[in-house]
């Protein structure tokens, strides 16, 4: 038993988070050595004058961070990382960049942790196109792509056009998906040390990649309507960022759709302070929303990125970016430097999918299927608080007390379902808890699999008290 007491006077934010950080700091400094027992929750609650629920949340959080282990009837003990076999030790860089998502998903779990396009048999269509390209372009397949056919750019122009706006073909760059497009833009128009603005909750694969490139990340406040212009103005005045990465239409994971007035305000602030905008429209084209794009409001400052992964097929890695005038060549060269270049067979496949109209047909079928799944999810989770959109492949579920996001994720995994906790979407280690998880439902092969997974989650939500106690 240790006589250690935490110092929760430092920092800000919820008490449980400050307590968890104090425990982590004590473990790092050696004040809580490996094998030591944390104080009993009831005793510690009395000693520092907080509720036992606050202590429980803090202990659950350090458990999620991999610092302690709980033993039923014995207490909570600090783990000895040095005794972990080398092959099982956690690399700090992997932890910082990998997020909380399980990298190698077990085959026996129901996957609610992906939003790739549902399988509608489009693989057969793509296989036919690949065979056709193989017969027609043998030399191009066997060599590097030194020049891009015009149809690759025309396909991007068609796919990116939306809400009455169509980019100029000379401003289009084909890419290995929307992610590669965003990273190419960041690398091309900023330098190591430059600051990039992200929403507090965002697609963190981009924010982590930006940090890997040596950029610094800032977070801007958002509400149910997206980025708050006043906070964006404050950041621009005080921190002088180079780029802001935004998802105005069907935000991931919150599903927020930013109204026109805010988009116009964001564009004006960006223009005033010389900030470039990256507009991620991956889900926007699926939403049937006619709010003008940022790219149409501020074409001189906005890089619009989109791809085929969410509505057509994730495996073909098709994407495009529409650039402000005179930037396409820079982005094209940077994308090649970062990725190694576009594979001819994939880029040609994506172009033919779009130009033939098959991509739009598959996308329409995907949206119809997702709408059916959204209705099932809404029915199965009726009575609980969540955000959803009839055309989006996920919902943003509010957890009832006493669930924490990571603890619920662990409990769901134990019962056979993979979900994403809120930390997977935090651009920085923030103090604000949301008590939410994202549930994606494009992966299940059948309606019964989808319903089975949702029923498992519902049971956890309804029996949260006992399940939560068991996780500490």
Q: Are 316 and 350 in contact (CB under 8 A)?
A: yes
Instruction: With a cut of 50, say whether residue 86 has pLDDT above it.
Output: no
Asked whether residue 289 carries a pLDDT value surpassing 70, the answer given is yes
Structure token pair of residue 17:
């988070």
Kindly state the tokens that stand for 24: 């982590």
pLDDT, position 84? 47
Determine the length of the chain.
472
Write down the pLDDT at residue 82. 57
Confirm if 396 and 424 have CB atoms less than 8 A apart: no
Prior bond of 402 cis (ω within 30°): yes
3-state secondary structure 243-273: EEEECCCCCCCCCCCCCHHHHHHHHHHHHHH
How many whole angstroms from its chain centre is CA 365?
Answer: 24
Which CATH number applies to 15-90? 1.10.10.10
Helix (H, G, I), strand (E, B) or coil at 119: coil
Q: What is the location of CATH 3.40.640.10 in the chain?
A: 143-356
End-to-end CA distance of the chain: 18
Best CA proximity match to 171, nearest among 278, 322, 342, 330: 322
* Tokens matching residue 150: 């015009």
Angle between helices 52-64 and 15-29 (to 10 degrees): 50
Beta bridge partners of 420: 438
* Cα–Cα distance, 423 to 437 (Å, whole number): 9
Residues of the chain with CATH 3.90.1150.10: 97-115+360-471
Give the start-end residues of each E strand in 138-193. Answer: 172-175
Per-residue pLDDT of 87-120, as tens digits, reads 444 454 555 566 777 667 788 899 999 999 999 9
Determine the average pLDDT of the residues in 166-188: 97
Q: Write the pLDDT tens digit of every residue in 295-325.
A: 999 999 999 999 999 999 999 999 999 999 9
Report the alpha-carbon distance of residue 98 to residue 117 in Å, rounded.
22
Phi, psi of 232 (to 5 degrees): -60, -40
**pLDDT above 80 (res 233):** yes
In a 3-state reduction of DSSP, which class is residue 450?
Answer: helix
* Extended strands (E) in 308-369: 319-322
The answer to whether 418 and 408 have CB atoms below 8 angstroms apart is: no
Which pLDDT value is given to residue 122? 96
* Under 8 Å between Cβ of 240 and 266: no
* DSSP conformation class of 434: -
What digits encode the pLDDT tens for the residues 247-288? Answer: 999 999 999 999 999 999 999 999 999 999 999 999 998 998
DSSP SS3 for 343: coil
The SS3 call for residue 218 is strand
* Token pair in block for residue 191: 């330098």
Listed residue (86, 35, 25, 84) closest to 58, CA to CA = 25
Query: Are the C-beta atoms of 376 and 31 separated by less than 8 Å?
Result: no
Q: What is the CATH number of domain 97-115+360-471?
A: 3.90.1150.10
At 113-142, the pLDDT tens digits run: 999 999 999 999 999 999 999 999 988 888
User: In this prediction, what percent of the chain has a pLDDT beyond 90?
Assistant: 68
- CATH code of the domain made up of 143-356: 3.40.640.10
Sheet with 386-387: list strands edge to edge: 386-387, 394-398, 436-440, 420-421
Selection from 52, 50, 33 nearest residue 41 by Cα:
52
């Amino acid at each position: 038993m240790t006589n250690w007491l935490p110092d929760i006077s430092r920092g800000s934010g919820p008490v449980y988070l400050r307590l968890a950080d104090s425990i982590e700091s004590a473990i790092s400094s050696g004040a809580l050595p490996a094998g030591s027992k944390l104080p009993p929750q009831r005793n510690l609650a009395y000693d520092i004058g907080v509720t036992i629920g606050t202590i429980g949340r803090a202990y659950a959080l350090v458990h999620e961070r991999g610092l302690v282990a709980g033993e039923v009837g014995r207490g909570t003990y600090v783990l000895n990382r040095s005794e972990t076999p080398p092959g099982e030790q956690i690399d700090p860089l992997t932890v910082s960049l990998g997020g909380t998502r399980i990298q190698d998903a077990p085959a026996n779990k129901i996957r609610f942790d992906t939003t790739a396009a549902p399988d509608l048999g489009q693989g057969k269509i793509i296989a036919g196109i690949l065979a056709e390209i193989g017969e027609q372009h043998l030399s191009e397949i066997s060599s590097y792509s030194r020049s891009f056919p015009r149809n690759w750019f025309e396909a991007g122009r068609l796919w990116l056009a939306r809400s009455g706006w169509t980019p100029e073909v000379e401003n289009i760059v084909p890419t290995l998906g929307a992610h590669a497009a965003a990273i190419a833009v960041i690398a091309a128009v900023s330098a190591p040390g430059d600051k990039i603005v992200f929403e507090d909750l965002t697609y963190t694969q981009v924010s982590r990649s930006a940090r890997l490139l040596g950029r610094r990340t800032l977070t801007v406040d958002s509400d149910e309507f997206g980025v708050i212009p006043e906070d964006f103005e404050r950041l621009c005045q005080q921190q002088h960022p180079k780029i802001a990465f935004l998802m105005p239409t069907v935000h991931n994971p919150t599903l927020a759709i930013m109204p026109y007035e805010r988009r116009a305000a964001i564009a004006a602030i960006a223009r005033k302070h010389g900030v470039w905008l990256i507009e991620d429209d991956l889900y926007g084209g699926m939403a049937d929303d006619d709010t003008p794009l940022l790219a149409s409001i501020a074409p001189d400052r906005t890089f619009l990125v989109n791809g085929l992964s969410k509505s057509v097929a994730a495996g073909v890695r098709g994407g495009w970016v529409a650039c402000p005038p005179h930037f396409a060549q820079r982005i094209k060269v940077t994308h090649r430097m970062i990725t190694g270049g576009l594979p001819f067979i994939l880029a040609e496949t994506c172009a033919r999918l779009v130009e033939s109209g098959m991509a739009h047909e598959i996308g329409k079928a995907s949206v119809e299927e997702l709408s059916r799944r959204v209705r099932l999810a809404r029915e199965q989770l009726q009575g609980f608080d969540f955000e959803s959109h009839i055309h989006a492949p996920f919902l943003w579920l509010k957890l009832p007390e006493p669930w924490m996001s990571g603890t619920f994720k662990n409990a769901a995994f134990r019962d056979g379902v993979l979900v994403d906790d809120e930390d997977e979407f935090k651009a920085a280690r923030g103090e604000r808890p949301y008590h939410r998880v994202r549930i994606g439902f494009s992966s299940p092969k059948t309606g019964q699999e989808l319903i089975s997974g949702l029923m498992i989650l519902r049971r956890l939500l309804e029996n949260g008290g006992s399940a939560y106690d068991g996780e500490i």
